[in-house]
Structure 1
């Protein structure tokens, strides 16, 4: 599998389009024809860069995870307190959702996990593992500093927070009036403030 950092400009355009298509329709909701049409190239050109759809989607998920981890580092650099970090984290989901109700790439792929090729499933697992590890650390440090009151383990709070944000996007897209990921995050944070 290619690493996203090794992509040519043409391959990066393919990945950009595939990312949006995944956010809108999932793994099984788009084809190389869809990508070719939107990029303005012929389908064999996509196969030149990504022999299989699994290769393409694995790179999309890999790059998405990398970008998300960069955002997490940025949050750490801007915010010292756990509650502020959690608010900024929820804002990442809000920013994605604000773009035509797009869903998190790995959240969308996670919904299809049982039918995904192993290399794609592995990249999706990396995304969730990285997020849960980061959130667990934030909750643990927030409790240790006295800023957050936890009713259970930091790991359980991390799981709850991530699931609530991903779920807010799905429920909102389902047509049910929703508060959106940012407001859901704020509601949860307010319940934990010490």
Structure 2
């Protein structure tokens, strides 16, 4: 399978188009014809880079996970306290939300998991594993330093926090009055303040 780091500029444009389509329509909602229209090429050119839609979808999820992981490393390197790190994490979701109420790639793919090829669901699981591991560490540090307080474990808080943000994207898309991920994060963090 192709790796996102091996993409040519042409293949990168195809992945960019597929990413936007997945965020708005889901994996099962787009075709190579849709990608061809966005990129301005013919379908055979897409097949040259990505012989199967499965491979394209897996590369989209792989690249998204890599970018998200880089963003988490940036937060670690620039933000010291756990509550501020968690706000910065929520801002990553908010940035996606602000792009025409798009959804997280892996959240959208997770909703379609039962109908996706195993290669794509493996990438989705990797995304959630990376996020939960990072969040668990942040919650544990916050409870250890006293900036967060809860009777729940760090792992339980991590899962609840991530699920809240993913859910805020979905609800915000269907209910225009919703406040989005940042507001949802603030409500949860206020409840965890010592």
Per-residue CA distance 1:142-192 (angstroms, 9 max, x = gap): 001111002211110000000000000100111252121001001101111
Name the CA distance, whole Å, in 2 between partners of 1:45 and 1:150. Answer: 54
Q: Identify unmatched segments of 5+ residues in structure 2.
A: none
Aligned residues: 194
The corresponding residue for 1:106 is 106
- Whole-Å Cα distance in 2 between the matches of residues 192 and 176 of structure 1? 27
Normalised by the length of structure 2, the TM-score is 0.99
Kindly indicate whether residue 138 of structure 2 is the aligned counterpart of residue 138 of structure 1: yes
2:11 maps to 11
The 5 Å alignment of 1:155-166 reads 155-166=155-166
1: CA distance between counterparts of 2:175 and 2:86? 26
**Partner Cα separation in structure 1 for residue 15 and residue 60 of structure 2:** 6
| 1:189 match | 189
**Structure 1 residue 114 displacement after superposition:** 0.8
Counterpart of 1:117 in structure 2 is 117
Q: Which residue of 2 aligns with 1:31?
A: 31
What per-residue deviation string (whole Å, max 9, x for no partner) do you get for residues 56-95 of structure 1? 0000000000000000000011111000000000000000
Give the structure-1-normalised TM-score: 0.99
* Partner residue in 1 for 2:82: 82
| 1:150 alignment counterpart | 150
Q: For each residue in 1:86-140, what CA deviation from the matched residue of structure 2 results, as whole angstroms up to 9, or x when unmatched? A: 0000000000010001000000000000110000000000000000000000000
Runs of 4+ residues deviating >4 angstroms = none
